A and B are shown apart, each in its own frame.
Chain A
Amino acid sequence: MTKELIKGNIAFAEAAIRAGLQAYFGYPITPQTEALEWMSGRMPELGRAFVQAESELGAINMVYGSACTGARTMTSSSSPGISLMQEGLSYIATSEVPVVVVNVMRGGPGLGNIAPAQSDYNQAVHGGGHGDYSPIVLAPANIQELIDITYESFDLAEKYRCIVMIAIDGSMGQMMEPAELPPFREIKKEHPAWAIVGAKGRKPNLICSLNIDEVEHEKVNLRLLARWNQIRKNEVRFKEYYLDDADFAVVGFGTAGRIALSAVRAAREKGIKVGLFRPVTLAPFPEKQIEALAARMKGLLVVEMNTGQMLDDVMRFGKDLSPVRFYGRPGGVIPLPEEILREIEALATETIPADIHPRDLWFDRLTAELGLTYEAA
C-alpha cells in the first residue's frame, strides 16, 4: 500500500468502511460533514446501510437499533450534535451494544463556532448522558493515527460491548496529510448470540435499558463498572516524545499535543530538556503514567484547546508530585507553537506558586495578555 494525501474526515470514514462498517447514520454539521457525504456515496455503492437522519437524535437511535442487530455501526458529528446524541448514548451504554462515534469537536459552548476545539473532553470522558457509564475515548493526533484507531475501534467496541468515541477536532477533520489506508475486511456474517435478529429456534432476545427493579439495575451498573475496570487495566494508550532525559514535560492530547510537539522541539533547540506526554486514551486516562511522569519531572505543562478540562485529571494524579502549569485557548482558538514555547520557557525558569490553582494563574496571564478585564471573583 502506498501513502496518499487524505483529509481527516474522509480518512476516518473510509477506514471505518474498510473495517467492515455495515451501517452509518448521521446528520450534517460542520466541521464533520465531509464524513457524512463520503458515507452517502460509499455505503450504498457497497450495498451497506446509510441514512441521513432527521436529526442527531434520530441518527443515534438508528445507530442504537442497527447496533442491536450486531451490525458494525457508527455515526459521526460535531459538538452540538454530540450533545443531542447524549440521550441515545446513555441508552446504548446501558444496553451494552457496541457503537463507534466520532466527535469532530468545534468551539463551544452553545452553537459556538466551527473552529477546532477540545472543549467536549469532560462530556466525552464522563459519558455525557445520564447515569453511570464510561465510554472509551480515543484522541488521535494525526491522520494515520486517526485511520488506525478508527480501524481498530470496532474490535474494541465489540470486545467490551461499549461505546468507543473518537475525539478529534475540526482542524484534524479538515487537515490533509499523507497516510495509508488499511485493507478491506470481510463483513461479518455471524450475528452475536445477544443480537436482535428474530427468535428462530430460541427464546426471544431482549435489548433494553430498563430495569424497573432497582436491585437488578444496580447489578447492571456494577457489571458496566466491572467491564470498565477491565478496560482501565487493558486499554490505556499514550505516546511519549523526548521524555527519556527530560526535566519537564508537556501534557497535551490531539491537536494540542501535536502543536505542543513543535514547541517541544523548538525548546530542545534552545537547550531546555523538555518532552511531551500525549494521552491517546482520554478514557481510560493514563493515571499511573501521569503519576510516574509527575514523580520524575521538575514541572508539568498541560496544554489544551479548552479552559483546562484534562488539567483536572492531570492534577488529580500529578499535582502532589510535581508543580503543574496550564495553558489553554478555548472557544475555537488554536494555540500557536510560539505561545507554547513561551510557556515551556516559563515552566523551566519560573517557580510555580503552590497555593494557587494553575487555571487561576493562567486565567490572569491570558486575560492580561488579551487586555480583558472581568469582575473579580
Chain B
Amino acid sequence: MTELQYKETVVFERPTALTPTQTTYCPGCTHGVAHRLIAEVIDEMGIRDDTIGVAPVGCAVFAYRFFDVDFVEAAHGRAPAMATGIKRSLPDRFVFTYQGDGDLVSIGMAEITHAAARGENITVIFINNANYGMTGGQMAPTTLPGQKTTSSPTGRDVELAGYPIQMAELIASIQGTSYVVRRSLHDARNIRQAKKAIRTAFEVQKRGLGFAMVELLSTCPTNWHLTPPDAMNWLKENMLPVYPLGDYKIHDAVKSAGI
C-alpha cells in the first residue's frame, strides 16, 4: 500500500500580537494563557496598530515585552489611572490594563473602583491567582479562607485577616460599568469562554460603550507548590466555590449591540 499524501491546514497557531520572546512566567502559569488570549483578540480584531497596553506591578510587570503593541508600565495598582490618562488623551485607541489581584484589589482598589465608576472606556484584564505571585506568594485580598501563604503560614484567618474580596461582583455593582464577568483558565473549555469574554470586552471599548472588566481565575503553581496540572485542579476545586463564574454586569447597551 502506498503512503497517503496529506494536506496540512493550520487549526491553531501562535498569535502574531505576541512577540517572539520567551515569557518570564513559571512553567504552567496561566498568566501565559491570558496573554495569548489577549493577543488572539488583538489579531482577530486587527487592532495591533491602535492598541496601548498598561502593564502592572506583579509577575506581569514585563508584559510589555510579550505584546507587539505600544506599552506603558504603571506603578503598583495605578494602571487604571494611567489608562484613564491615556484614553482621555487618545479616545480612539484601544487601551487595556493587565493587573494581578494584589495590584488591582489591594493597593489599586481606589483606582479601579473609580475608573469603573467613571465608566472609563477601557478594558481591564484582571488576573486572580489568590496570592501575591511576584513577591513570593504572600496573602492577597483574594486569598481563600484557610489558605496557607507565606504571610498567612497557618492559613488565612478571617477573624484577623478578613475575607476574600469578590471583585467582579463588587465592580459590577457600580452603575458606571458596562461589562463585568468572571471566567477561569483551568481547562480548555473555560479558556475558550475566557477568550470570548476578552473579545467582548474589547468590542465594548470599540463601540465606546464604557468600562469592561474580565476577571480571570488563574493559577500560581510555584507559590501554590503544585504541579501545573494539579494547580489547574486546585483552582477548580477551591477557587470556583468562592469565585463563581458568570456574567455579573452586561449593560443593556452591550446586549443590544449584539456583541
Contacts and interface: CB of A to CB of B under 8 A. Distances in A.
Contact between A and B in the complex (any CB pair below 8 Å): yes
A271 interface: no
Interface stretch (A55-63, A299-307, A363-371): A55-63
Interface in A47-73: 49, 51, 53-55, 57-59, 61-69, 71, 73
Size range of the chain B interface in the assembly: 35 or more
7 contacts: A23-B85, A25-B85, A62-B81, A65-B85, A204-B68, A207-B73, A209-B73
A51 B87 CA distance: 12
A88 B75 CA distance: 7
Contact of B70 (A55, A95, A196): A196
Given A55-B110, A58-B81, A65-B74, 20 more contacts: A23-B88, A51-B88, A54-B110, A54-B113, A61-B78, A61-B82, A65-B82, A65-B84, A68-B85, A68-B86, A88-B75, A88-B78, A91-B75, A197-B90, A199-B70, A200-B50, A204-B69, A205-B70, A208-B64, A208-B72
Interface in B108-152: 110-111, 113-114, 118
Assign chain A's interface to a size class: 35 or more
Contacts of A22: 89
A220 B90 CA distance: 28
Interface of B: 48-52, 54-55, 61, 64, 67-75, 78, 81-90, 93, 110-111, 113-114, 118
Nearest to B79: A61
Contact of B85 (A62, A201, A205): A62
B72 A206 contact: yes
Q: Is the interface of A mostly helix, strand, loop or mixed?
A: mixed
Given A23-B89, A57-B78, A197-B90, A51 B84 contact: yes
Interface of A: 22-23, 25, 49, 51, 53-55, 57-59, 61-69, 71, 73, 87-88, 91, 95, 196-201, 204-210
Nearest to B107: A57
B135 to A, nearest CB: 15
Contacts of B48: 199
Q: Which among A204, A209, A210 has the highest number of chain B CB atoms within 10 Å?
A: A204
B23 to A, nearest CB: 14
